[in-house]
Amino acid sequence: MKHFDVVVIGGGHAGTEAASAAARAGAQVALVTQKISTIGMMSCNPAIGGLGKGHLVREIDALDGLMGRAADAAGIQFRLLNRRKGPAVQGPRAQADRALYRAFVQRELADQQNLSLLEGEVVDLIVDNTRVGGVVLADGQHISAHAVVLTAGTFLNGLIHIGDQRHAGGRMGDAPSTRLGDRLNDLDLKRGRLKTGTPPRLDGRTINWSILEEQKGDDAPTMFSFLNSAPVARQVSCGVTRTNEKTHDIIRANLSRSAMYGGHIDGVGPRYCPSIEDKVVRFSDKDSHQVFLEPEGLTDHTVYPNGISSSLPIEVQTAYVGSILGLEQAKILQPAYAIEYDFFDPRALSAGLEVQNLPGLFFAGQINGTTGYEEAAAQGLAAGLNAARLAMDADQVQFHRSGSYIGVLLDDLRSRGVTEPYRMFTSRAEYRLSLRADNADQRLTEQGIGLGIISERRKASFYSKMNSLNDLKARLQQRNFTPRDLLESGVHVSADGSRRSGLDVLGAFVMTTEQQNALLPELLTAEPEIRTQVLRDAMYGRYLDRQQIQIDQLKREEGTVIPADFSYSDLSGLSGELTSKLQRQRPASLAVAAQIEGITPAALALILANIRRTAALQEAV
Partner 1 sequence: MSDTIFALATARGKAGIAVVRVSGPSALDAAAALGVGPLPVRRGVLRNLMIGDELLDSALVLFFAAGASFTGENVVEFQVHGSEAVVSALLRFLTSLPGLRMAEPGEFTRRALENGMLDLTQVEALADLIDAETEAQRRQAQRVLAGGLGQRAALWRKDLVRAAALIEATIDFADEDIPVDVLPEVRDIVERLSASFAAEIEGSRGSERVRAGFEVAIIGAPNVGKSSLLNALVGREVAITSAVAGTTRDVIEVRMDLGGLPVTLLDTAGLREATDEVERIGVARARERARLADLTVLLLEPGETASDTEADIIAWGKADLVPGPNSVSGLTGQGLDWLVEEIRTGLQQRVSGSGLLIRERHRSALSLASESMASARQSLYDGDPSLELVAADLRTASHALDNLVGKIGVETLLDEIFSSFCIGK
Contacts with partner 1, residue ranges (CB under 8 A): 50-52, 81-82, 84-86, 88-89, 93, 272, 289-290, 425-427, 430, 432-433, 540, 543, 546-547, 550, 553-554, 556-557, 560, 571-574, 590, 594, 599-602, 604-606, 608-610, 613, 617
| Helices 405-416, 373-391: inter-axial angle, 10-degree rounding | 80
CB nearer to partner 1: pick between 530 and 590:
590
Whether the Cβ atoms of residue 378 and residue 150 lie closer than 8 Å to each other? no
Rounded least distance, CB 496 to partner 1, Å: 20
Report the residue number, 105 or 437, with the smaller CB distance to partner 1: 437
Total Cβ atoms within 10 A of residue 456: 7
Taking the C-alpha atoms of residue 416 and residue 345, their distance in angstroms, rounded to an integer, is: 10
Q: How far apart are CA 153 and CA 443, in angstroms?
A: 29
* Choice between 268 and 539, CB closer to partner 1: 539
Beta carbon nearer to partner 1, 3 or 271:
271
Q: What is the DSSP letter of 587?
A: -
CB of 547 to partner 1, least distance (A): 7
Separation CA 618–CA 264 (nearest Å)? 56
The CB-of-449 to partner 1 minimum distance in angstroms stands at 30
Secondary structure (3-state) at 252: helix
Task: Report the candidate in 241, 178, 250, 31 with the shortest Cα–Cα distance to residue 119.
Answer: 31
Measured distance CA(44)–CA(4) in Å, rounded: 31
| Nearest distance, CB of residue 89 and partner 1, angstroms | 5
Three-state DSSP class for 326?
A: coil
Tell me how far apart the alpha carbons of residues 253 and 353 are, in angstroms, rounded to a whole number. Answer: 45
Q: What is the b/e burial string over 147-181, where b = at least 16 CB atoms within 10 angstroms of the residue's CB?
A: bbbbbbbbbbbbbbbbbeebeebbbeebebbeebb
Between 31 and 48, whose beta carbon lies closer to partner 1?
Answer: 48
Q: Which is nearer to partner 1, 222 or 254 (CB)?
A: 222
Q: Which is nearer to partner 1, 266 or 552 (CB)?
A: 552
Q: In sequence order, which residues have a C-beta less than 8 Å from that of residue 429 and are 6 or more positions away?
A: 52, 55, 401, 405, 408, 435
> Nearer to partner 1 by C-beta: 478 or 553?
553
Closest approach, Cβ 388 to partner 1, in A, equals: 34
Min separation Cβ 433 and partner 1, Å: 6
The Cα-based distances of 547 to 401, 437, 503, 560 in angstroms read 12, 18, 19, 20
Nearer to partner 1, 88 or 453 (CB): 88
| Three-class SS state of 201 | strand
Per-position DSSP letters for 528-549, written without gaps between them = HHHHHHHHHHHHHHHHHHHHHH
